[in-house]
Amino acid sequence: MLRNREFRRFALIFFLLSIILISIGFSQSSAAGGLVLVTVLIFGGLFLTFTRTRYQRLAQLADQIDLVLHNDDHLFIGELDEGELSILQSEIAKMTLRIREQNAALQKEKENLADSLADIAHQLRTPLTSANLILSLTAESTDEKERKMNLREIEALLLRMDHLITALLKLSRLDAGVVQFQNEPIGVAELMETSLRPFLVTLDLHDIQIENHLSSEITIQGDSIWLSEALQNILKNAIESIGEQGTISIDGRDNPLFTELTIHDSGKGFEPTELHHLFDRFYRGKNGSKAGFGIGMALSQSIIKRQGGTITARNHPEGGALFVIRFPK
C-alpha cells in the first residue's frame, strides 16, 4: 500500500488532521479528546482494513495477468461481488479467455501454413524435377525434332507452375483479407455468360451442351470479376467430370431470403468419401483431372464466402454433381 503515492498522501493528511482534531478535543476536555481519539482510531482501522482487502484483490488480479503473460493455463476466478473490482476482474477473465482463443487460432493457422507450404513444395517439386530431367535429355540430344518436342514439354510444365503460383497468390490474398471486393448489382445470367465464354471451344469439341435457365431479372450484390473466376472453376470441374458428350444444367431462383444458383452436370458425380474434402486445398478426387492441382474448388469457396455467400456440393438424384451457391439478401 505504501508504494502508492496517493495512499501516502492520504495517510499523511489523515494523520495531520487527526493530530489537530485530537489536540482541539483535549483542549476542551479529556472526555472530548478521548472521544475524538477513539473515533480516529476506529475510522483509521476500518480504512486500513478495507484498503488492505482491496489491495489483496488487486494483487490477485496482478498475479492473474502475470500468469497470462507467461502462458500459464491457470485462470483465477474468485467469488464475484458487485463493485468496480469485480467488474475489472470479470473483464480480465474475458480478456484472458479471448487471448487464449486467439493464441489457439494462431497456432492452428501456423500449423495450416506449415501444411500448405509442404503441399506447395510438393506440387512444385514434381514439375521442376520433370523439367530438369527433360532439360538434361535435351542437352544430350542431337535430334532437332526431339529437342523441339522436349522444349514444348518444358514450356507446358512451366505454364503449369505459373498457374499454380497464380492460384496460390490469389488464395493467400484472400486469406490475408487484403482483397477489396466491389459491391455492385450483378445480373446472374450475364455473369454466367461471362464465365462460360472461355469454355465455348472446349464445350463444342467435347460435345457438351449447356442448358441455361437463368432469368435476366435475377441479380446479386458482389464483385463480378472474382465471382466469374469462382464460377469458372466450378464449370471447369463439371467439364472434366463429363469428359465427352454430356450436359451442364444451370438454374437460379430468387426469394426474400436468398438468391440461389445451381450447376448440375451429367458426369460421374462424387464418391461419398470425397464430399467432405472437396473444398480442401490440394485435394483431387478420384474423377478429378490428373493435370490439376486441387486448388480450384478451394479458391471458389474462398471467393464466394468472402462475399457473404455459401457453396455446397452433393450428388444429384438423377446422377452427376450438383453445386448450390446461395447469396443471402
Residue spans per domain, the chain? 5-76, 118-176, 184-328
**With a cut of 50, which residues of the chain have pLDDT below it?**
80
Query: How would you class 140 by CB atoms within 10 Å of its CB: exposed for 0-12, middle for 13-18, buried for 19 or more?
Result: exposed
Q: What is the predicted pLDDT for the residue at 94?
A: 78
CATH class as words, domain 184-328: alpha beta
Give exposure, 299-329, as e/b (b: 16+ Cβ within 10 Å). bbbbbbebbebebebebbeeebbbbebbbee
The number of residues making up the chain comes to: 329
Residues 6+ apart with CB under 8 A from 309: 222, 325, 326, 327, 328
Report CA torsion sign: 123, 125, 126, 128. Answer: positive
Please tell me the pTM assigned to this model. Answer: 0.61
7, three cell numbers: 495512499
